[in-house]
Amino acid sequence: MQTPIRKKPGKYTHVEKDPYITKKQFDLLTEEFASIKRRRPKVIEETQAHAEMGDFSENVEYQLAKRKLRGMNSAMDRIEKKLNTAIIIPENSPTDYVKIGHTVEILFNDVKKTYTILGSDEADPTKRIISHLSPMGKAMIGKKEGDVFEIEINEKNISCEIIKINKLNFS
């Protein structure tokens, strides 16, 4: 038997999870975990009731209930890991230089743009919320008002200037 030829791992093969989240996101995850935990006993009872009906191989209700329970267990594990490793982005951090949790106003191609820098789980480029791990986020972290930095976009270096650094309102 011939061993399959696989591509070499790329730069996104073993990307570590980003632990940075806002307090609001932490609270939402905590609430979601509690909600699943409250619903779980009912699903366990439902699964046990369907199991008593007989042959597992032909018992569709049992298979569906078991799948639902596995999904809930998987979601609880995922959320619990996220909560246990979470680093909450501090509120009201000083704005002497750009950090995670700041909203930064920059001059980009002679146009003023505002970006909020958060963890990758909460990034939403359509709302100008970027990750501190993104090229733009990495370029801004540690800069002060008035600093100029370059970012490469489509193989072109573009100069940007930090105009203003603001605290993020987490409420």
Q: Which CATH architecture has domain 102-167?
A: Roll (3.10)
**For the chain, where are the alpha helices, taking DSSP H only?**
23-51, 60-85, 135-140
CA distance 55 to 60: 10
**Is pLDDT at 170 greater than 60 in this prediction?**
no
Which pLDDT does position 152 carry in this prediction?
86
Length of the chain: 171
The mean of the pLDDT values for the chain is 87
Tell me the pLDDT band of 168, cut-offs 50, 70 and 90. confident
**Residue showing tokens 């370059």:** 150
**Is pLDDT at 64 greater than 80 in this prediction?**
yes
What tokens were used for 24?
């609001």
DSSP 8-state symbol, 110: T
**Is pLDDT at 9 greater than 70 in this prediction?**
no
**Is pLDDT at 169 greater than 70 in this prediction?**
no
**Is pLDDT at 58 greater than 80 in this prediction?**
no
Tell me the pLDDT band of 59, cut-offs 50, 70 and 90. confident
Q: Which CATH architecture has domain 20-88?
A: Orthogonal Bundle (1.10)
Tell me the pLDDT band of 7, cut-offs 50, 70 and 90. low
CA distance 23 to 88: 6
**Is pLDDT at 12 greater than 60 in this prediction?**
no
Nearest to 128 by CA among 92, 97, 166, 158: 166
Which regions of the chain carry the CATH code 1.10.287.180?
A: 20-88
Which regions of the chain carry the CATH code 3.10.50.30?
A: 102-167
| Residue 68 burial by Cβ neighbours in a 10 Å radius (0-12, 13-18, 19+) | middle
What amino acid is encoded at 78 in this protein? R
Which pLDDT does position 162 carry in this prediction?
94
**Is pLDDT at 109 greater than 90 in this prediction?**
no
